[in-house]
A and B are shown apart, each in its own frame.
Chain A
Amino acid sequence: AQSVTQLDSQVPVFEEAPVELRCNYSSSVSVYLFWYVQYPNQGLQLLLKYLSGSTLVKGINGFEAEFNKSQTSFHLRKPSVHISDTAEYFCAVSLPGNNRKLIWGLGTSLAVNP
């Protein structure tokens, strides 16, 4: 069975600093990987996804993530954060193909301070 671990529950950072949110997964087979973001008082929206191909995936709002198969990781990065990036970030995994359930991490709360 697949599982997802987000290594940091909270990440405080100053505005314009770089940030990395860490996600490790466990699976004996290939998986699809996703990052979703939840802004305060809103639902989730997709930031980026890895299905296959290039291991560096670029998403919306300047975020990118790198798939590392040997380390079973899919860390999310942004070189310079803004106050508006303050949100909850969720990593998720599924088996390839359609009609698949997502397995979610518990989330990382990113707090960007001025």
Chain B
Amino acid sequence: KAGVTQTPRYLIKTRGQQVTLSCSPISGHRSVSWYQQTPGQGLQFLFEYFSETQRNKGNFPGRFSGRQFSNSRSEMNVSTLELGDSALYLCASSPISGQGGNSPLHFGNGTRLTVT
């Protein structure tokens, strides 16, 4: 079974631009969660999508948005990029909604975003 695939692996953008990151979950998984990882803040939860509906949301500004398609693939968009958005963005999939229940999260290798 293929794992969680995130594209692209690396991205360099300029302040003010926007970016779209993609995540393909494990086949059969309907939940996709997104995280921002930085050295100082650790893992910060962005949002979770389950069956095309946003189920949970973290404390990020509206510049961060996401969506999920009928095949469970998910995209995350960040508009008006700021220097502080530089981070590793991880997505994780699960067959059920939520991240802390009986079914563990399966993570992709992340997209490293650098904003200059």
Q: A43-B90, A90-B43 are in contact. Are A101 and B100 (CB under 8 A)?
A: yes
Across-interface contacts of A102 in B (CB, < 8 A): 45, 99-100, 105
Interface residue SS majority, chain B:
loop
Q: A43-B107, A46-B104, A104-B43 are in contact. Are A98 and B4 (CB under 8 A)?
A: no
Q: Is A41 part of the binding interface, using a Cβ–Cβ cutoff of 8 Å?
A: yes
User: What string of 1s and 0s marks CB contacts (under 8 Å) between B88-109 and chain A?
Assistant: 0010100011111111111111
Q: Which of A45, A97, A100 contacts B107 (CB 8 A)?
A: A45
Q: Is B42 part of the binding interface, using a Cβ–Cβ cutoff of 8 Å?
A: yes
- List A residues 80-108 near B (Cβ within 8 Å): 90, 92-95, 97-102, 104-107
Q: How many residues of chain B have a CB within 8 Å of chain A?
A: 25
Across-interface contacts of B56 in A (CB, < 8 A): 101
Across-interface contacts of A36 in B (CB, < 8 A): 105
Q: Is B15 part of the binding interface, using a Cβ–Cβ cutoff of 8 Å?
A: no
Other A-B contacts than A45-B107, A100-B100, A101-B48, 14 sampled, CB-CB below 8 A, are A43-B90, A43-B92, A44-B107, A49-B104, A94-B101, A95-B100, A97-B101, A98-B96, A98-B97, A99-B55, A99-B97, A102-B105, A104-B45, A105-B42
